[in-house]
Amino acid sequence: MPYRVTFVCTGNICRSPMAEWILRHHVEEEGLDVEVDSSGTGGWHVGDGADPRTVEALRRAGYRSAHIARRFEEGWFAAYDLIVALDEGHARALRSLAPDAGARDRIRLLREFDPAAGDGDLDVPDPYYGDVADFDEVLGLVEAAIPGLVDEVRAALREA
């Protein structure tokens, strides 16, 4: 079975689809057996595509994108090896849904994988009410964390 990673943000139209497609790019380049997707803690945008500014930021950086927003469901915990929250609010919401300690242990913050982030604020800011520069900032924060996340995935695949 492939290793399964999901990213979770608020509405699943900005941060989590951006992280999804950046990680997909990297695991595909390396030929790793990994499935990647994303969802949101809220249902406001279910069925919508990614925010056009997300799609454009990804395109400018050389990534592809295709996305339909969905909401994270409590029953999904068992389907994932790693559940990556984009900020502490998302992590709290996920922990409150988690059926047990094992599920809670699979929840991590994306910026935990960025060695430059340190122990400070590990939130990826929500660019929704911002402009192009805000989306580019988020893209940079995601890209900075992806090498560490890929290392984590590689290690988990070796142990499997």
What is d(CA 38, CA 42) in angstroms, rounded to the nearest whole number?
12
Number of H helices, E strands in the chain: 5, 4
Q: What are the angstrom distances between the C-alpha of 105 and each of 3, 29, 83, 98?
A: 16, 28, 9, 9
Specify the 3-state DSSP secondary structure of 7: strand
Beta-bridge mates of residue 36: 5
Residues catalogued as catalytic:
9, 15, 126
